[in-house]
Structure 1
Amino acid sequence: MPVADELYRSADLLVRARTGCDSSYCVVTFDSFTDRRTLDREGFGEAFFASRGVNAIHILSRDNDWYLLPDIEPALAAAAKAARPFDRVSAYGSSMGAYAAIRLGRLAGATTAIALSPQFSLDPRLVPFEDRWDPDARRLDYEIERRLALKGFVASADIFYDPTDRDARHVELYRDRLEVRDVRLPECGHPVTGFLAEVGLLQPAVLEAAQGTLDRTAFEREALAMRGRSPQYYATLAHRPGTPQKKLELARQAYELFPNDVGYIARYAQALSAAGRNDEATAKFDEAMAIEPDHLTVLTRLCEFLASSRRLPAARAVADWLSRLHPGAAPIEAFRAELNRPRLADAPALLRRWRGRLSG
């Protein structure tokens, strides 16, 4: 396994290289949205690339700042210097990381990107339809985004996305900026990374794209044939319009495919609640909490359940616990403020909105 070499570190950014492998190509990764607000963690795909003998450079952000940080350019320059010896350099990321891979990849030495469910921007002036990352989106410095847009975009990208999701609107905005090579995965959700991992296609897709050998048409056909094996596929369908009973059946299918995953247990619990089966929903939340009591998605969905059941003191207690687990996180503080508003008749709808932003 190649030795890790730290190339750049500041309070908010880290660049680490694992190079020296025999391959003539290199991947520059950008980490995705994280609950672990520390730089002392693995880079995106770090263990995988090292185990496969792939040269890789990993860029990490301490918080979910979408890499719009004052010192992002020297960090990218450090990555570009390390990537210079390689014949082919691809930027790689998922969601927030995919945004950075496309928009900042060129400054990190890449000419192309492997982007899983990227956003075009979070700037409300550019994407007024996007609200999944509020209130984080309101604190970002879009002047940095505008300045880097003049020089950071890669020339081309393999973009894997769900064309039935809001992500498709982001992909359309990229078409005037670069060559978009579509890999369409309908009804596979955001990000499609989870779906691809569940059906065993993530690793081969990334390796083939990194080497420039991906057959996108054949890959789409294979992925669509495997959707029924993926809990994310059923969970995505469960969030689309439909009757509570239909949504419950889909959530149950997702849960049964991956019964030990706390996220799918919590989604199933929510569907049970929406179908009026609160006792069963409570049992499923207990099941999820027994596996992972501090899980962000479980706790935010539990808050919604408690508020919808008008157990507001309990919902506030869970929100306070979330705040202690993730001190200073803007979405959680906004979540708590909504719960503590004097007028809470609209609490369930508000909580659904905040849950999507916290765990999406």
Structure 2
Amino acid sequence: MEEIFSGHSYQVQAEIKDDGPTVVCFDPWSNILDPDRPPFGLRYFSTNSINVIAIKSHGNHWYQREEMDEVVERINQRLAGRERVGYGSSMGAYGAINFSERLSLSRVLLFAPQYSPDMTRFPWEQRWQAEQTGLECRYDVVSEIAPIGGGYLFYDPFNSNDKKHADLITARHPLTPIKMPFAGHHTLDWFGQNRTISRLIKSMVFDIGREGEAIRDRRLDRPKIATYWLNLSAHYLAKNRPMLALQAAKRGTECEKGDLFLARHTYATCLYTHGEPEAAKRIWRSALDNPNETSRQRWLLGQSIVQHGWQELRGEFLETKAVAPA
């Protein structure tokens, strides 16, 4: 592995084996900023014999630190004369398109990107408020740079914020939008869950025009992924259709792929809302009794209690009861 740059805010590593295209990867937002973690995309592309340069961010600051000037310079020096493809998800997808002009990217593969992290311009985006509040956006230029040559933008049209970002981006940049209904914000995970990501990426990097095969496979396979049913359930709840939400959540628990633990919690939440508290409590108790699920179940229950005002559940499930002395 070759180290291109190492600084306070970023580390850049590369694995370049031949003269073919190089994928430039940008880290997504993460709640686990382990400095020893591998950069996003580095392991995947290198093990699949695809040239890669991966930018690891040591913070969730949307690539706005001054070190990006040197990062860009080092990458350009290393990739002189090579074709480059930008790749990223969420914050990383924003980084890929935001620096596409300075990095001379020929095209980009974006999964649920943001148009801008500047909350003064887009106060409706509150999902990452803790990191974005007061962020100095010195490099925020998606709306100013020359339109990128091409690429793809994957997003869930039923995720209102992601749709707003996608519409703003495609209004300026001639990217092909790929709608993935009820994929949620983590659209990239869908391809990883059924192992079509390899074919999708290889076709987009090396064999432009055949990526439709992987996209069609993903669409046909979506009923097998719990994520699809969870987001569909949330959609029905927002439309005040609780029975359909319950049915969709139940389908999610029957899947073999996706976040099955969240699927069970969502189903329990729908049962409790639908007036079947004992059935819901059996699911929650089973999860809390499982050492592998206890921590996350407590967190999810805490979120549901706050969201729905179910304070009666706090004492039963979350508060530690004192044990009477013998």
Residue in 1 that maps onto 2:50: 54
Inter-CA distance 7–228: structure 2 relative to 1 (3 Å threshold): same
Match of 1:34?
30
Q: For 1:1-360, list aligned pairs within 5 A.
A: 4-19=1-16, 21-22=17-18, 24-86=20-82, 88-146=83-141, 150=144, 154-166=148-160, 167-215=162-210, 217-240=212-235, 241-258=239-256, 261-288=260-287, 290=290, 291-295=292-296, 298-307=297-306, 308-310=309-311
Judged with a 3 Å threshold, the aligned counterparts in structure 2 of structure 1 residues 83 and 294 are, in CA distance, closer, same or farther, namely farther
AA at the equivalent of 2:112: S
Letter in 1 for 2:155: Y
Q: What is the alpha-carbon distance in structure 1 between the residues aligned to residue 282 and residue 78 of structure 2?
A: 52
Offset at 1:292? 4.2
Amino acid at match of 1:305: S
SS of residue in 2 equivalent to 1:273:
helix
1:14·1:39 contact (CA, 8 Å) conserved in 2? no
Whichever of the two has the greater Rg, that structure is 2
1:258–1:264 CA contact under 8 A, matched in 2: no
What TM-score results when the alignment is normalised by the length of structure 2?
A: 0.83
Q: 1:36 to 1:91 in 2, by over 3 A?
A: same
- 1:277 and 1:179 map into 2 onto residues whose CA distance is 49
Q: Closer, same or farther in 2 for the Cα pair 1:150/1:305, shift >3 Å?
A: closer
Kept in 2: contact 1:105–1:153 (CA 8 A):
no
Alpha-carbon separation, structure 2, partners of 1:280 and 1:81: 61
Q: CA 1:311–1:31 in 2, change beyond 3 Å: closer, same or farther?
A: farther
Deviates more, 1:56-65 or 1:223-232: 223-232
Residues 65-93 of structure 1: CA deviation (Å, up to 9, x unaligned): 1112222221222222222242x210101
Structure 1 residues not aligned, in runs of 5+: 319-360
Structure 2 counterpart SS, 1:67: coil
Q: Structure 1 residues 81 and 24 mapped into 2: Cα distance closer, same or farther (>3 Å)?
A: same
Q: Secondary structure at the match of 1:17?
A: strand
Q: Deviations along 1:29-49, whole A, 9 cap, x unmatched?
A: 111121211231112222221
Q: Distance in 1 between matches of 2:47 and 2:90?
A: 24
Q: Match of 1:270, as an amino acid?
A: T
The farther-off stretch of 46-55 and 175-184 is: 175-184
Question: How much identity, in percent, do the aligned residues show?
Answer: 22
Q: Hey, what's the Cα distance between the residues in 2 that align with 1:257 and 1:269?
A: 16
SS in 2 for 1:206: helix
Residue 271 to residue 79, structure 1, CA distance change in 2 (3 Å): farther
Contact 2:226 2:260 (C-alpha < 8 Å) held by counterparts: no
**Shift of residue 145 of structure 1?**
1.6
Deviation, 1:13, is 1.2
Aligned residues: 309
> Cα RMSD over matched residues?
2.9
Q: CA deviation digits over 1:7-58, x for unaligned, max 9?
A: 2122221111111x23511101111121211231112222221111111011
- Note if contact 2:147-2:174 (Cα within 8 Å) is conserved in structure 1: no
- Amino acid in the other structure paired with 1:199: N
- CA distance in 2 between counterparts of 1:294 and 1:109 reads 45
Partner in structure 2 of residue 345 of structure 1? none
CA deviation digits over 1:267-301, x for unaligned, max 9? 33333333344444444345445324444xx5542
Q: Output the CA distance in 1 between the equivalents of 2:315 and 2:104.
A: 50
**5+ residue gaps in structure 2?**
320-326
